[in-house]
Structure formats: structure tokens, C-alpha cells
Amino acid sequence: MLSTHAAATLRDEAATLQGTHLRDLLADAQRSHGLVYRLDDLQVDLSRQKVTARTLQALLDLAKETGLADRIAALFAGEKVNKSEDRAVIHMAQRGVDRRESAEFTSLSSFADTVRRADVTDVVNIGIGGSDLGPAMVSAALASHVSGPRLHYVSNVDPSHLHDVLADRDPARTLVIITSKTFTTAETMRNAALARGWLGAHAGSMAAVTAAPQVARDWGVAPDRIFDFDQGVGGRYSLWSAVGLPVMIDVGPATFADMLAGAAAMDDHFQTAPLAVNLPVLMGLLRVWNRNFMGLATHGIMPYDQRLHLLPAWAQQLEMESNGKSVSVDGAPLEHATTPVIWGSAGTGCQHSFFQALHQGSEVVPLDILVPLRPTGLHLAGDWADSHRVLVANAVAQAEALAIGSPNEAEPHRHFAGDRPSTIISWDASTPHAVGRLLALYEHVTVVSGFVWGVNSFDQWGVELGKVMAKQAEAVLAGAATPDGISATAVDLLARMAASGDS
């Protein structure tokens, strides 16, 4: 990537823009037209990014030189773009019209409706990673559409997590769903075993969502309560599949289908829109620009929508598990950095915590500021309606303050340098369709940047070594193994832990 002609142009452009303040760029009124992009009511405002028309053209040239259009076409054509696992990537098919009209989706919907009509007061989803972050985030995002039993998510192997969720629950009226692609994930299966013991005589009512249905059957889940999904659906891209079952129970199949349709609309845009006006392409290229040419190592995602408060955690896994790589898709060492550190929190609370560092700290952090222009599921009037207007005003004000700043050389503590980039992403209201569209946008942003960086955004071998060493450490704690491959300090710590547990 860095050896392309476009990269050389981008390095020159970065050197020039380092000496140009955003307040001067924003003095050009045309930026509000030329750098604002739309898909229906979704608007992506790039005017506060440190880019010019020349920068964007060079980024599009970089896309051309790295074969981005061909890679996108291969993705949608079902080619095996996940080379290390020799798989196609098919999570987009999970939200298409064919899937929404399929027998598999009908079966999933029927089960969800059965649970919603039954004498079930609580549903507990046990999963981790993509089997937890995505569904939990969507459940929170669609809180105004909840109409099913109480829904709980358990991910941590810390027994207090499951214990606290099951406290005061009735085993006879609780459905436990075990969500695991392989049905072997250590944390999930340990929690599943604890939940099975808690259910006692009602353990037969457990359900499973997995790409390994035979393993689930062998574990003891009834075949008619196992919901399959394809191996080509990666965990962090899986909430659209049967992994979304708890959400479907929570909000109903029709609402869930509306969310899928929103994601499918973004898929169509990503596949067909010219690169120069393609929202995921532009945002993905900007991620490369900020990371590799502006030298910005982190990226903040700040939703000004309380119901989207879990979106930063979901996006963190999405980007960092996908693109946290130091070798190319073919296994060659990379000469450039890849994923930024993704982090964030919901506004306006974050303004009173870490925004101090964003405005006056030494590190520049590019932000995505996300805001619906009107509330969803709330019939607001008077002071209530005013509160949402205050929310929107705060979102815009933060972007403006970060970009323009407020020079005060006489009082350095009150000096705001500004020149800090952000993107404002806005839409009408956080309907299921809008939420699905937004999440698909972020998925494709990750894919675009991964394609340009030349990495495989669809495997995650980096999570495996820790799992292996955890098993070794567990064996040492149980006194059943010689600690080969574990450092002396770890052996000492494990010994003290074992002694503490015996006392």
C-alpha cells in the first residue's frame, strides 16, 4: 500500500495539511456541500476531517491501485476472500430478501413467537464475543420496540455474572439460549454447564444457536431447539443470523426483519454506488488516511443516542478483531500500521469525563459523532422535546469546538487549539431499519480499510494463543499438569492462587 503512487501523493498531502488549520478549511462554505454524503436520510458529514478535494482524489486513487473495487466484487460474488480459512464470507446474505423469505427464517421466527406467547418471563443468552456483543447492542438499540420477556446477556466466565443474572429468576419460566459458533468456546460452555445445573428438571428447555449442531446435540440440546448458521458467517458479523434469536424474541420477528432490511439497503449501496460517493468506501479510506498518513493511532465512536451506548464496544471488536493484523492476506509481513484502537462512549456523559483530553490533551483523536435528529419511540412535547434538541446541539457543538478551538494565549489553561477532526453521522430517527443500516455501514467500513491494508478481515487467529495458555494455567491450578511453556513468574502466581483457594 505505501509503495503506490497514490500513497506518495497522500504523504505530500498530509505534510501540507499538517500546517493547515481546520478552522481555515471550514471557512470555505462549499465544504458543507462537497463533503457531505447521503443515503436516503442518512448523512455523513466529512467537512471537519482534514481533507481537501485533492486528498479525496488521492484516496480514491489508492483504492484503485489496491484493487478495492475488485475485492468488493469478489466479496459479494461469494469468492473465498477468507483465505486462511478457505471460506467465502456470507454474512450479507443473512439479511437479504431471499433469507428473510426462507424456511430457515420462518422456523426461527416461529420459535421466537412461541417463546413470546409462552409462560416465559426471562430469556438468558449465554455467549461471548460476537455471540454477545452484537445481540446485546441491538437489544439496547431497539429498546423502544421491546415486547417480549425480560432479556439478559451473560458473557463473562466470572461466576458472579451468571449468578447475578439468575438470582430471583424462576427455572420453570426461564429460557436459556447457548450461543456459540463452535459450541466449544470455553467461557460459554462453562457458563452453559452452570446454567444447566441451575435449570435442573427444566434443562430440556434450553436452546442453542451454533454452526456445529451435532456438537450441541451431543451436549444435550434437543434437535428441534438447535438453530444452525453457516461457517462462512464470522462471529463478529453474525448478529444477522440465528445469533440474533434473542433479539428476535425481544422485539418480535417483524421488527428484526425491518433491521435486516436496513442492513440490506446499505449492502446494496456498498455494492453498487460509485466509489466517490460510496459511504463505506469514503469512511474506510478516511480511516486509512488518519491512521497511516496523519499518524493518528486511535479512533473514537461517540453515539449521541443512549440506546446506542453499546455500539462502541461492538465496533471495537468489529474493527480490532478484523484488522488487528501485522501480516497480509497472503502471510507476508506488513510495512504499515493497520487498525486504530477503537473506543468510545455515549454522549453527553462522555463530555464530562474524557472529552477534556480530546479538547486539550496532547493526542489528537479523530471521532465519529453519531446523532439521530429526532427521538424514537417517545412522544415528546414541551421540555421533553427540548431535551432532544439539546442533545443534538451538544453533538454539533462538540464537533465544532474540536475543529475550530478557541485560542487563548494569555490564559494557557483556557486555550483550545482545535484542529481536531471528526465526522458527524446523522439520520432521522433510530428505527430498526436505521439501526440495521448504520451497523452494516460500520461492517463495510472495516472491510474497506482491511482490503486497502491488504489484510484478511475475516479470520481471528490472534484470539487462539490465549485460549491455549488459559487451559494450561487451569491445569496447573488443578494440580494436574506440569507447567510447560509458562514463565516462572506465572508458575509462582498460579501456586499462590492455588494455595489461596485451598485455605
Residues 394, 387 contacting (CB under 8 angstroms): no
Higher pLDDT, 330 or 384: 330
39-53: average pLDDT: 98
CA distances from 130 to 156, 240, 246, 284, 429 (A): 13, 11, 13, 21, 26
Confidence of residue 148 (pLDDT cuts 50, 70, 90): very high
Residues ≥6 apart with Cβ < 8 Å to 344: 300, 301, 302, 303, 311, 312, 315, 350, 367, 368
pLDDT digits (tens, 9 = 90+) for 350-368: 999 999 999 999 999 999 9
Amino acid at 243: V
417-423: average pLDDT: 98
pLDDT digits (tens, 9 = 90+) for 448-497: 999 999 999 999 999 888 888 888 888 888 877 666 778 888 888 888 88
422-430: average pLDDT: 97
**Pair type for strands 42-45 and 422-427:** antiparallel
pLDDT digits (tens, 9 = 90+) for 172-183: 999 999 999 999
> Is residue 427 scored above 90 in pLDDT?
yes
Look at residue 485 and give its three-state secondary structure: coil
Phi, psi of 368 (to 5 degrees): -105, 120
pLDDT digits (tens, 9 = 90+) for 14-35: 999 999 999 999 999 889 889 9
- Neighbour order of strands in the sheet with 36-39: 36-39, 42-45, 422-427, 367-372, 298-303, 341-343
pLDDT digits (tens, 9 = 90+) for 217-270: 999 999 999 999 999 999 999 999 999 999 999 999 999 999 999 999 999 999
Please give the distance of CA 201 from its chain centroid, rounded to a whole number. 37
> Is residue 381 scored above 80 in pLDDT?
no
Query: Which secondary-structure segment (H or E) carries 389?
Result: helix 383-404
| Residue 413: count of CB within 10 angstroms of its CB | 6
d(Cα 102, Cα 493) in Å, to the nearest integer?
A: 53
pLDDT digits (tens, 9 = 90+) for 81-112: 999 999 999 999 999 999 999 999 999 999 99
Homologous superfamily of 96-251: Glucose-6-phosphate isomerase like protein; domain 1 (3.40.50.10490)
Residues ≥6 apart with Cβ < 8 Å to 192: 126, 176, 178, 206, 219
Confidence of residue 45 (pLDDT cuts 50, 70, 90): very high
Confidence of residue 380 (pLDDT cuts 50, 70, 90): low
Q: Which residues are catalytic?
A: 321, 352, 467
Residues ≥6 apart with Cβ < 8 Å to 217: 223, 226
d(Cα 448, Cα 443) in Å, to the nearest integer?
A: 9
The yes/no answer on whether domain 5-83+259-459 falls in CATH 3.40.50.10490 is: yes
Q: Evaluate whether 5-83+259-459 and 96-251 have a shared fold.
A: yes
Domain boundaries, the chain: 5-83+259-459, 96-251, 462-502
Provide the whole-model pTM. Answer: 0.96
C-alpha grid cell for residue 391? 442533545
Higher pLDDT, 200 or 493: 200
> Is residue 503 scored above 60 in pLDDT?
no
d(Cα 212, Cα 231) in Å, to the nearest integer?
A: 9
- Terminal alpha carbon distance of the chain: 57
